[in-house]
Amino acid sequence: MVMYSAQTDEAALAFFGKRMAAFRVRNNWTQADLAQKAGVGKGTVERVERGESVQVLNLVKVLRACGALDVFLNIFPDDSPSPMQLLYMGKMKTRRRARTSRKRVDDVNMVSDNSADYLVGKDTVDENGQARKNAWVWDEDK
């Protein structure tokens, strides 16, 4: 990329105008066509191509019609903080593991503690006269 920092403001505008005129001709647009697409007067397009001063709003309209508005808007870098800066400022939460930690020793016998919930089968009457279900046994039904 060629640097044009030594140019005067007028020379930079003239260079920009020549490039925009070349773009317009490559697309087979007349100045009136571009002005109509941009919603500005034909004189505005003529002034831009001659390197004369125009209002910024009109320049934005012409750039949008040319499909170059995104390039214009991305001239300056985004000034929002990076994710690392957010982390150092304390405004971003630290990442956590998605899975839970391993089971504690107390939780290992959870099924046996609630084994009454898993009892099925024929009712049996215990010595107190209470109806009680027998525990389910694997392959009992065969």
Please state the separation of Cα 117 from the chain's center in Å: 48
pLDDT of residue 73: 87
Domains of the chain, start order: 9-73 (1.10.260.40)
Give the helix/strand (H/E) hosting 59: helix 56-66
CB atoms within 10 A of CB 59: 20
Residue 81 has phi, psi (to 5 degrees) of: -70, 150
pTM of the model: 0.53
pLDDT of residue 76: 83
Residue 125 has phi, psi (to 5 degrees) of: -100, 125
pLDDT of residue 25: 95
Q: What is the pLDDT of residues 83-94, one digit of tens each?
A: 777 777 775 566
What integer is the mean pLDDT of 64-72?
91
Q: How many CA atoms are closer than 13 Å to the CA of 3, on its beta-carbon side?
A: 2
pLDDT class of 27 with cuts at 50, 70, 90: very high
Nearest to 41 by CA among 19, 27, 58, 23: 58
Q: What is the pLDDT of residues 110-126, one digit of tens each?
A: 555 555 544 455 556 66
Alpha-carbon gap, residue 116 to 110, rounded angstroms: 12
